[in-house]
Structure 1
Amino acid sequence: MFTKNQLAIAIIAATPALALAANNQEAPSETPVTKLNKITVTAARTAKEVNEIAGSVSVIDTDEMEKNIARSIRDMVRYEPGVEVSTDGRTGMKDFNIRGMDGNRVKILVDGVDQARSYQPGGNYIRSERSFIDVDALKAVEIVKGPASSLHGSDAIGGLVAFRTKDPADYLNKEGNDSYASIKGGYASANKALTETLTLANRSGDLETMLLYTRSDYQETETYEGADVYGSGRGKADPLDAGLNNLLAKAQYQLNEANRVGITGEFYQLKTETDLRSSTPDNVKGDDESTRGRIGVFHEWEANLAAFDSMRWQFDWQESESHMLTRMPTYNSGRTTYPNRLQDYTYTEELFQLSGQFNKALNLAGLDHQLIYGFNIGRNEVTNKNVSNNLDDGSSFQKNYIPLVTAEKYALFLQDEITITDRLTVTPSIRYDQYEYKPEATAGFTGESKNSDAGKATGRIGATYQLTDTLSTFTQFSQGFKAPDLNDMYHSEDSGRGYLIKANPDLKPEESDSIEVGLRGSGRLGSFEVAAYFNKYKNFIESVTSQDPKYPFGVIQYQNIDEAEIKGIELSSQVWLDELAGAPAGTTFRTSLAYSEGEDTKANQPLNSITPLKAVFGLAYDDPSEIWGSEVIWTLVAAKDSDDIADNEDNSKFATDGYGLVDVTAYYKPVKSLSLRAGIFNLTDKKYRVWNEVRNASSDVNMDRYSEPGRNFSISAKYEF
């Protein structure tokens, strides 16, 4: 078992790599791509190498996704300590957990466009998630760890996940007319997923176009084992059939040397049919559809004016919808008999978003400044409808948990990167956000409809200092905030079963302050990064139950009551074993580790969202011919101590065991145009559970249902024309 006491062992294992990477020898002229020299365009709102950022940023690009044979957002972060993705057997991928913050406290962007929030007013039949993403359409995902509100606004209180979709230029030669086509197919045994992707790209004169289409069919992700029984004692995953379609189309035109315009169209659709055998009653059927459509335009201008050197504006329309149909047969629960009924639930967000950014380089008082400033304007209309149809007598009843809400948001931001000396760079930034919620009472909603508005300024200051030619340090102080969720503010319900849910439109935004310090090194033998952080949160929104004689089970209302602290350490390194020990050229060893602690300081209890210590070690070989390569990855995850689990969640303090996993991936290119990839995951057939999947599990279920797949494999083939 891998326990918390083995933290020292993992650090010791990684220390040689850190020491070797920090050597003072010159890096080779062609430095291999590592985490430190990957490009981020989100963390500082301009293209920079990760080693220039005063903070922790992870960039997972197309090459890494394909190398790891990633078919989902969870696969993408499989080897990224400090980041987890939770799942649900019915709705699929749910949300990100970054350093113990998850749900709507982590902001998600696609090409700079805000994504729909998770909405879960209660029950397995009334929910919508945030998994409107197809991996094959992505060229990179950037993960900013810690508060990022000073540049990206509300919901980035716990971090930021920015997806960037592929562009025509990613497939075409740098200049001249060109065409590209590829077909890709893959299979994953864990959920019997069969995936096909077609990509077309073309440049004719100054016009670049691209069309990418993915089709995927899959079933439920298998558990390790468990009896094939119905009800809460079921140990297997509920049967599921899913079909995914994703279409991405882009056209970009170079008007002249200074101006470029483009248009993007995107459509995502996921249909699932689920046999909810683990529910009550145990023969419920689910028929769901999630869709996301987007049309966006942009304009880039290299102006070289006094006010700005370059600018970019974009306007996007997006609609995200979750539609759940649940067929529930007649059953008895205590004294209540529920009829044969069809639950019809829809949640929709329609967004209009306009953003602009301006860049200006100037020299003031002998110091070089790189100014970035801009604005964001958004209008989001949120609707929900919940209709219960009695199939026995043909009657129906509509009950909406929140009203129709129009959310308007306005923001201004400014960042200044100041070069103090050739070694010291200081980057302050500030942003002001104003939001207003305008609810309208609609059919099925009987609660309070009161406007709510608030404004919040957040700031950040970061600094990087080059200690030597190969060693640098960074530090930053950053603030975050999160506007209240609509469910917290407006959910109003007299259940008729002894409890009342009361709205609270006067909720204040949640807030956070974060301090982070780090050390980086890059030399002839490798590279490393180590960072320590301390985050403090206040005005956390949690449900509070008060007593009322009319409601024996209490009156429930969301309030700003909780405060929390999270602290931790992360490290990563990569060593070139060919330079160090004379291993075959192309042999590398990588390590990474993440450890954190969190506490609800008001309740004096641990935070259940904190994930256990995780370490990853990888030994890889890439042949210099680029024809073939392979990697063995060892992942260690600590046990979740029962003392680190809060008492207020109904999981009977179920604590997951520690575990170790061995994965093997390989690729082979028999000809230049054909790439073959394969991976065996959980090679030793280990039975294990992920803490993030079980922390909210009911105490009366069979925990085998939350076990992860045993030994499984994935394969893919890609042919480029």
Structure 2
Amino acid sequence: MKNSIVILILFILQFSYAQQTTTVSGFVSGKGRKIHAANVHLLGTNQKTVTDSLGYYLLENVAVGNYTIQISQLGFQTLKKKIEVVQDSINSFDFELTDNDNQLNEVVVSGTLKAVKRLESAVPVEVYSPVFFKKNPTPSIYEALQNINGVRPQLNCGVCNTGDIHINGLEGPYTLVLIDGMPIVSSLSTVYGLSGIPNSLVERIEIVKGPASSLYGSEAVGGLINIITKNPKNAPVFSADYFTTSYFESNLDLGMKFNTGKKATSILGINYFNYDQVIDKDHDNFTDVTLSERISVFNKWSFQRNNNRLFTIAARVMYEDRWGGDVRWEKKFRGGDEIYGESIYTKRGELIGSYQLPFEEKLMLSFSGNVHYQDSRYGTTSYIANQKIGFLQLTWDKKLGRNDFLAGIASRYTYYDDNTTATKEAESTWLPGIFVQDEITVSPKSQVLLGARYDYNSIHGSIFTPRAAYRFKANENTIFRLNAGTGFRVVNLFTEDHAALTGSRDVVIANNLNPEKSINANLNYIQKINFTNGTFIGIETTAFYTRFSNKIISDYETDPNKIIYDNIDGYAISQGISTNVDLNFTNGLKFILGATVLDNKNVENGVSEQPFLTENFTATWSISYKIEPWNLLLDYTGNVYSPMKLPLLSEYDPRNPKSPWYSIQNIQFTYTGWKDFEIYGGIKNLLNFTPKQNNPFLISRANDPFDKNVQISDGTNVGIYGKVVPQGQVVDTPDNPYGLTFDTTYVYGQNQSIRGFFGLRYNFR
């Protein structure tokens, strides 16, 4: 009898215990895909597991109660969330991980043309995900780059608002822009290559600062920007992002995924931007911001092949119609001298692809091509340009013991024609090249990279660009890198300098322009600090030095009525130090801080001068805080720039010869409480800064854009200040007391005042 009672009691206890345990399951996803091998842990217990290939996890025999579940995976921010486990209920919890904005362990390809973890790469590569750019939404990647340390979008025209990207103070032509590793963006207006790419289809952006010509050839003199688009297999089924501002700028991004059969997946992205408000807050009767309508369509295909061999192909077409100028301008005035306007029609098509050849050896065939037609009118000056570029590259990737080889052959064809005086006839250029690279693992802590490239330009002849790099890994948290290399750039002058086309300055090319060459060295230091409470600090500092020979400079000062282009008779230096700090706290507070100190100068005949539009100091920041109970994310972003030298037209020009210290700051609130939806809004340019502040005007002689009332001296004219005006220069008269002509080159920052914005995002996985 006693035994029966004991057995009954044990049975009841066992049954009671069984009733108090259950299972917890769900899916873990991030970056638009299910995450394999993510770590799942119920904190305070021994309950741990990892997700399977479909992102599914299962925890069994979990006692009923309240827990904190932790999800972690390389490349994503660790997620901690409180859950309640209930008996007789389906305890299913799905989690969405957020990718790290500047994660040190991201896989990168731009530094060596190989997929490698960022910390393992001998070449420093900065990585930025769409999460980073969502902190300050913009209608184009060009504008989004303003929050990256050492990178500055520079407006070159105060009327048409075209621009380029400065890296470490170097002008846009020194920056190579790639899409999926292909040099799809030519020198013909880099800004067009960065406009119209749907942000929803961007996987990440990689930035290499410093020459990379030994791998990428011409244009990679100052650095490169590589836009990596999503793999169609990992893209969301449908995504949409729309926002508008109080300036009535409207931007729409659409992304869709299609499966065609069992072996082909495609993504389609559409970007549409429209801004048609004539706004003149500085009261000069000229538009403050260019009016624009742009549509871009991007389509990428991925094909499944045997042995997981790669085959992707993508195409993009873009059309843009933009204009700025006199607020009374209409299209009927295009190209005339009645009402001044700058009108630009752009048509652009791009094709890129990669195909892994069906051999045991890893042979990759990559190709790209683009056509670019531009029909522009700057007042009565026309610029009709036609450029076609084809690129083909074959690489061989091989590991032999401690050596990781990469070798390749490439050929680039460029056809360029325009109607300017600098292009007397259409120009066709062939640029075949061969390159080799070897990454040598000297020891578990040391790695050496040696590389060289030989190109033969059909116009300029042989060009040799070597490079070397060394990486020392003191421990898992401390890394040093030393890089040295060379770069070169073949120049298409007018494709890069809109200042040569606007205003009334005459363009003078002093001599035949030779290719620019550079030599660079930089020292990179990374330190990671992990605290026991989960707080993380990442510090990355780079000291850099670049010396240019044959640098082409634009001389605005010798003659205020001319822009004189010539190779420098001397050398140019770009040097400085840059630091990025990434702080992540367990309470949801996150800081990304950056600062760069620059010393850029042109040296001729022993005289050193700072180039125009080059700052000595820049800083950026992004501060984010997630208020979990409210599902509210707060982002505060901004930048600050030191004064820059600006081009004046005469000794009497009343505008400031240097820009002031200025800062563009933004705040954004994002609500994430609805499934698959995000609502966001905020304020841009909180300090209400515009370049007109402390200046009487920005555009000189806006009242006489065709210089009909400008008097040119014959050498005997005496101005109102009693001085004889040299022949060919502008006479200062009562109607023109400063002796100016119409000119739009005095511009250094965006001319939009404080404004609000509001947007909505939707993602269906």
Structure 2-normalised TM-score? Answer: 0.71
CA-CA distance at 1:622 after TM superposition = 3.2
- After superposition, the CA RMSD in angstroms is 3.9
2:390, 2:413 within 8 Å by CA — same for their partners in 1? yes
**Which one-letter code corresponds to 1:160 in the other structure?**
L
Distance 1:74 1:488, change over 3 A: closer
CA distance in 2: counterparts of 1:611 and 1:221, whole angstroms: 31
Shift of the alpha carbon at 1:556?
6.3
Q: Measure the CA separation in 2 of the matches of 1:499 and 1:76.
A: 34
* 1:351 lines up with 2:385 in the alignment: no
Q: Which residue of 2 aligns with 1:508?
A: 514
- For residue 281 of structure 1, report the CA deviation from its aligned partner: 6.2
Unaligned runs of 5+ in 2: 1-71, 78-99, 330-335, 531-535, 702-737
1:666-685 matches, cutoff 5 A: 666-685=669-688
Secondary structure of 1:604's counterpart equals strand
Q: Distance in 1 between matches of 2:121 and 2:441?
A: 13
Give 1:256's aligned residue: 306
Post-superposition offset of 1:160: 1.2
Deviations 1:116-174 (A, max 9, x none): 54569xxxxxx9976554343533322211111111111111111222333312315xx
CA distance in 2: counterparts of 1:560 and 1:607, whole angstroms: 12
Per the TM alignment, residue 695 of structure 1 is displaced from its structure 2 partner at its CA by: 11
**Can you list the C-alpha shifts for 1:103-127, whole angstroms capped at 9, x where unaligned?**
322222223333454569xxxxxx9
Q: Distance in 2 between matches of 1:243 and 1:68?
A: 21
SS in 2 for 1:408: strand
Question: Within the alignment, does 1:317 sit opposite 2:337 as a pair?
Answer: no
Pairs aligned (count): 603
Residue in structure 2 matching 1:148, options 212, 223, 239: 212
Q: Deviations over 1:589-625 (max 9, x none)?
A: 2321111011212142122242241223433223569
Q: How does 1:386-401 map onto structure 2 within 5 Å?
A: 401=423
Q: Pick from 415, 424, 434: which aligns with 1:402?
A: 424
For 1:680 and 1:620, how far apart are their aligned partners in 2? 15
Does residue 218 (structure 1) correspond to residue 275 (structure 2)? The answer is: yes
Question: Counterpart of 1:670 in 2: which secondary structure?
Answer: coil
C-alpha deviation, 1:284, in angstroms = 1.6
For 1:134, give the aligned amino acid.
I
The 2-side partners of 1:202 and 1:535 are apart by 46
Equivalent residue in structure 2 for 1:656, among 650, 656, 659: 659
Distance 1:544 1:85, change over 3 A: closer
Cα distance, 1:560 vs structure 2:
5.1
Letter in 2 for 1:244: R
Q: Provide the rounded CA distance (Å) in 2 between the counterparts of 1:113 and 1:301.
A: 18
With over 3 angstroms needed to count, the CA separation of the structure-2 counterparts of 1:118 and 1:648, relative to structure 1, is farther
Give the whole-Å Cα distance in 1 for the aligned partners of 2:555 and 2:622. Answer: 46
Please give the residue correspondences for 1:233-632 in structure 2 after superposition, counting only pairs within 5 Å: 237=288, 240-276=290-326, 283-301=339-357, 303-305=359-361, 310-325=362-377, 328=380, 344-363=382-401, 368-385=402-419, 401-436=423-458, 452-485=459-492, 501=508, 504-505=511-512, 507-524=513-530, 525-542=536-553, 558-559=566-567, 561-578=569-586, 584=587, 586-602=588-604, 603-622=607-626, 627-632=631-636
Q: What corresponds to 1:391 in structure 2?
A: none
Cα separation, 2, equivalents of 1:155 and 1:705: 23
- Identify if the C-alpha distance between structure 1 residues 291 and 184 changes in structure 2 by more than 3 Å, giving closer, same or farther: same
Q: Note if contact 1:483-1:510 (Cα within 8 Å) is conserved in structure 2.
A: yes
| Superposed counterparts of 1:99-248, under 5 Å | 99-115=168-184, 117-118=186-187, 132-136=195-199, 137-171=201-235, 180-189=237-246, 191-203=247-259, 204-219=261-276, 225-227=281-283, 229-230=284-285, 237=288, 240-248=290-298
Aligned counterpart, 1:23:
none
Give the stretch that moved more between structures: 557-566 or 531-540.
Answer: 557-566
Tell which deviates more after alignment, 160-169 or 456-465: 160-169
Whether 1:719 and 2:719 are equivalent positions in the alignment is no
Q: 1:378 to 1:519 in 2, by over 3 A?
A: same
**Partner-residue secondary structure (3-state), 1:151:** helix
- Note closer, same or farther for the CA distance 1:131–1:562 as it changes in structure 2 (3 Å cut): farther
Native 8 Å contact 2:176 2:185 kept in 1? no
Q: Does the CA-based 8 Å contact 1:182-1:719 persist in structure 2?
A: yes
**Is the CA contact 2:648–2:657 (under 8 Å) kept in the aligned structure 1?**
no
Counterpart Cα distance in 2 of 1:663 and 1:269: 30
Letter in 1 for 2:519: D
Higher relative contact order (CA 8 A, sep 6+): 1
Q: Which amino acid aligns with 1:322?
A: Q
Is contact 1:74-1:85 (8 Å) kept? yes
Question: How much has 1:689 moved relative to structure 2?
Answer: 7.0
What does residue 728 of structure 2 align with?
Answer: none
1:710 deviates by 2.7
Q: Return closer, same or farther for 1:350/1:69 CA change in 2, 3 Å cut-off.
A: same
Is the partner of 2:132 in helix, strand or coil?
helix
Alignment of 1:55-134 (within 5 A): 55-87=123-155, 88-115=157-184, 117-118=186-187, 132-134=195-197
Counterpart of 2:641 in structure 1 is 637
Deviation at 1:430, TM superposition (A): 0.9
Contact 2:440 2:447 in 1 (8 A): yes
Q: Is the 8 A contact 2:301 2:314 kept in 1?
A: yes
CA contact (8 A) 1:521 1:527 kept: yes
Change in CA separation of 1:347 and 1:520 when aligned onto 2, cut-off 3 Å = same
User: 2:90 maps to what in 1?
Assistant: none
**Distance change >3 Å, CA 557–CA 83, structure 1 → 2:** closer
Whole-Å Cα distance in 2 between the matches of residues 198 and 38 of structure 1?
A: 26
Contact 1:262 1:297 in 2 (8 A): yes
**CA distance in structure 2 between the partners assigned to 1:606 and 1:471 by the alignment:** 36
Change (3 A) 1:58 1:626: farther
Q: Is the 1:73–1:85 contact (alpha carbons within 8 Å) kept by the matching residues of 2?
A: no
- What's the offset of the Cα at 1:181? 1.8
Identity of aligned residues (%): 17
Change (3 A) 1:295 1:687: closer
Output one character per residue of 1:70-118: Cα deviation in whole Å (capped at 9) or x when no partner: 3223432122121111223554442111112113222222233334545
SS in 1 for 2:476: coil
Is the CA contact (8 Å cut-off) linking 2:268 and 2:297 kept in structure 1? yes
Task: Report the Cα offset of residue 664 of structure 1.
Answer: 1.5
Task: Output the CA distance in 1 between the equivalents of 2:152 and 2:297.
Answer: 27
Q: Does residue 1:52 correspond to 2:120, yes or no?
A: yes
8 A contact 2:187–2:492 mirrored in 1: no
- The code of the aligned residue for 1:304 comes to E
Q: Cα 1:64–1:282, aligned 2, differ >3 Å: closer, same or farther? A: farther
Deviation at 1:184, TM superposition (A): 2.4
Of 669-678 and 562-571, more deviation after overlay is shown by 669-678
User: Structure 1 residues 263 and 467 mapped into 2: Cα distance closer, same or farther (>3 Å)?
Assistant: closer
Inter-partner Cα distance in structure 1 for 2:448 and 2:367: 32
Consecutive unaligned residues of structure 1, counting only runs of 5 or more, are 1-27, 121-126, 173-179, 329-342, 387-398, 437-451, 579-583
Mapped partners of 1:462, 1:278: distance in 2:
57
2:162/2:191 contact within 8 Å kept: no
Distance 1:554 1:193 in 2: 36
